[in-house]
Structure 1
């Protein structure tokens, strides 16, 4: 009976030591989980602060740009009102006949070259477009010269 009691006490002592180790490990895990949770909260807060700083700086930049635009508009309005009384309006120049002829000639030449070419449509379009641009520019140049002479004669 003494042996049995000794064995039982020893078994209980060993079991209680194992339970204490297990409880200590669980306590360490709980502490680590708490620490990790706090770190995540701090990181989230820092990220939110950084995002808010970025938004605030973007607002400041947008406000500066808005003020600059207002200043430019105000200065343009001021210069328009002062310069409109002193200068006459000039008519905006359009395309010259040379440029118009070159563009029209290139388009017509490209279409014609693609249609006429039997095998290589792209090559025909390039050659036709180049030839058409040259001929169209030549015709437009002749028309420009004629208009200059008429304007000088008046």
Structure 2
């Protein structure tokens, strides 16, 4: 969180103290950073989809070879009539979002406000700030998600 605030303060300082030519260069570099972070998010999404497809094919193969009967939802059929333990309840609302999604939303909001304050053309500043903030926030959230997955894998 401190890093985001520092980056936001640096961005505000750069935009308020520089000339128009420097602003254009800063905007271009921010756009490039946004595009790079979006490409990183897309790559992570692709990895997730690939791993889910691999898991699905592994489950299908396991069912065919094991001879175990399964219900329609993919869970093993239980031969006895005892009740099974209920699955844990899914998180609802904001808590169910990934850090990537949360970062994109928070970054977009902060970027919109900052862009509207800094730029003389409020709408243009808010639009640019939203794009930059969403990209940076999504990138930061993806990094947090990745580190949490690594930590969970180690345990």
> Is this a same-fold pair by TM over 0.5?
no
User: What TM-score results when the alignment is normalised by the length of structure 2?
Assistant: 0.43
**Higher RCO (C-alpha under 8 Å, 6+ residues apart):** 2
The structure having more radius of gyration, on CA atoms, is 1
